[in-house]
Amino acid sequence: MTSKKQKRRSLQTYLQHIGLAPFNHQGVAAVPLPSERSSTVRFQTLTHLDQALQSRAHGEKEPPVYGRSGLSTHRALEEVFCTLEGGCGAFLLPSGMAAISHALFSFVQQGDHVIIADCVYAPVRRFAEHMLAKMGVEFSYCAPNVDDFMRALKQNTKVLYLESPGSLLMEMLDLPALTEWAHKHQLVVMADNTWGSGYSYRPLDLGVDISIVAGTKYVGGHSDLMLGAVVTRHEEYLPTLYDTHYTIGFSVSADDAWLALRGVRTLPLRMQRSAESALEVCQALDEWPEVKQIYHPAWPKDAGHELWQRDALGSNGMLSFAWSLSPAQTRTFVDALQLFGIGFSWGGFESLIQWVSAKDLEGHSYWSKADNTPVLRMQIGLEEPQALIHDLLHARAQALKVQI
């Protein structure tokens, strides 16, 4: 058995036992930990309060002093993220974008410069242009390789922000090489790991300092909650992350934390099933003459497949493809699908499709305007894969009837 398989099996077993309710004095317990909701924390004496405040001053979360920091339900979910990602501390946020904001706010200030891989989640660009710029923080978008990052490096560069695989075209980044270069220049390396969510990919093991996860996606798994997490492998980062988290006022409801604990127990099964089905869909798409490129790192013909084999523990249901059909045909194709919802999210049980806009691909080094072909991104859910393929074939037939 390989070490990767051992790690995945260990995680799969762990996730079934974390967050169980403790036994009472009679030796009886429910299975799931209850959702512990409270806005106020009471203290038996002033001495107990003093001790709690002293712990907080050192960046510790226990014991809590106010409900905004969360209680036992939150602690259990933080432990889940630490174990999934291989970190020493985790912070819960009300969305994936809030997690990105929290991480960047914690390590940049006026006068600093951030290098951003050009394949990142599109709202990161909005955050940079609308928030970092207001703070007096410079930023540069670069193709995700050492040479381009080196050209963008400045004396005031403090953070390297990455996402692997990329948000739209799923390109794998060479995280060990990129982090080695960044650390030589004393940069804090952050990576969005929503794609792998700690089960299929672990950036902290590859040298990244801070991993960011939108728990809205595969961790929650049921399209019924918003959640983010910031995880670090450095204990010395915890006070800074804690101070930013508490000062800004980020908070997650106990009920959402409980839903995430429920969802994460089936994460291994859901991700494995979605990954297997995605490969079947890739195989079907590869037979269509109008499909020019399939973007999915687990697909053997993908440009990043070797990096995926080297660094990843598994895959998921995300894929994109570019094809030669016209925009009118593409619109007919999307509208004709019956089993795919049209939506921007992913990671749930349901299959989704998104027509990637040309604007979102602008400035993306992995994409050339000369290609000038529609790109569709799909989340392959838990439906029977042959049913999904039949749906895609039906929609394709409708699209081909449209006059160009």
CATH of the domain at 226: 3.40.640.10
Identify whether 205 is a catalytic site residue.
no
Assess whether 321 and 240 both reside in one domain.
no
> What total of structural domains would you count in the chain?
2
- Candidates 121, 201, 237, 242; catalytic one: 121
Assess whether 241 and 318 both reside in one domain.
no
- Candidates 7, 68, 125, 331; catalytic one: 68
What pLDDT is recorded for position 372? 78
Assess whether 62 and 91 both reside in one domain.
yes
Question: Quick check: 92 and 214 in contact, CB under 8 A?
Answer: no
CATH of the domain at 390: 3.90.1150.10
Assess whether 284 and 226 both reside in one domain.
no
**244 Cβ neighbours under 8 A, 6+ residues apart:** 102, 105, 106
Domain boundary among 264, 293, 321: 264
- Nearest Cα to Cα of residue 59 among 237, 260, 275: 237
What pLDDT is recorded for position 59? 60
Identify whether 121 is a catalytic site residue.
yes
Domain boundary among 241, 264, 287: 264
Assess whether 143 and 272 both reside in one domain.
no
Assess whether 55 and 183 both reside in one domain.
yes
Assess whether 55 and 178 both reside in one domain.
yes
Q: How far is CA 382 from the centre of its chain?
A: 19
What pLDDT is recorded for position 370? 57
- Candidates 202, 217, 265, 377; catalytic one: 217
| Angle (CA) 337 340 343, round 5° | 115
Domain boundary among 196, 230, 264: 264
Assess whether 321 and 253 both reside in one domain.
no
Identify whether 68 is a catalytic site residue.
yes
- Nearest Cα to Cα of residue 196 among 328, 32, 4: 4
**27 Cβ neighbours under 8 A, 6+ residues apart:** none
Assess whether 336 and 384 both reside in one domain.
yes
Question: Quick check: 92 and 257 in contact, CB under 8 A?
Answer: yes
Query: Which residue intervals of 191-326 are DSSP H helices?
Result: 238-248, 254-264, 267-286, 305-311
Question: Quick check: 221 and 201 in contact, CB under 8 A?
Answer: no
Calculate the alpha carbon distances from 75 to 33, 36, 97, 323 in Å.
11, 11, 21, 46
Domain assignment of residue 198, given as a range = 3-264
Assess whether 180 and 39 both reside in one domain.
yes
Assess whether 193 and 286 both reside in one domain.
no
Assess whether 245 and 273 both reside in one domain.
no
What pLDDT is recorded for position 369? 64
Identify whether 301 is a catalytic site residue.
no
- Candidates 192, 209, 302, 311; catalytic one: 192
The helix/strand/coil state of 168 is coil
What pLDDT is recorded for position 1? 43
Q: What are phi and psi of 152, to 5 degrees?
A: -85, -15
- Please give the average pLDDT of every successive group of 10 residues along the chain, which has 404 residues: 69 84 86 86 93 77 83 94 96 98 98 97 95 97 97 98 96 98 98 97 98 97 97 96 93 96 96 98 98 97 97 97 96 98 94 92 79 92 98 98 88
What is the side-by-side strand order in the sheet with 228-232? 89-93, 228-232, 210-213, 188-192, 157-163, 113-117, 138-142
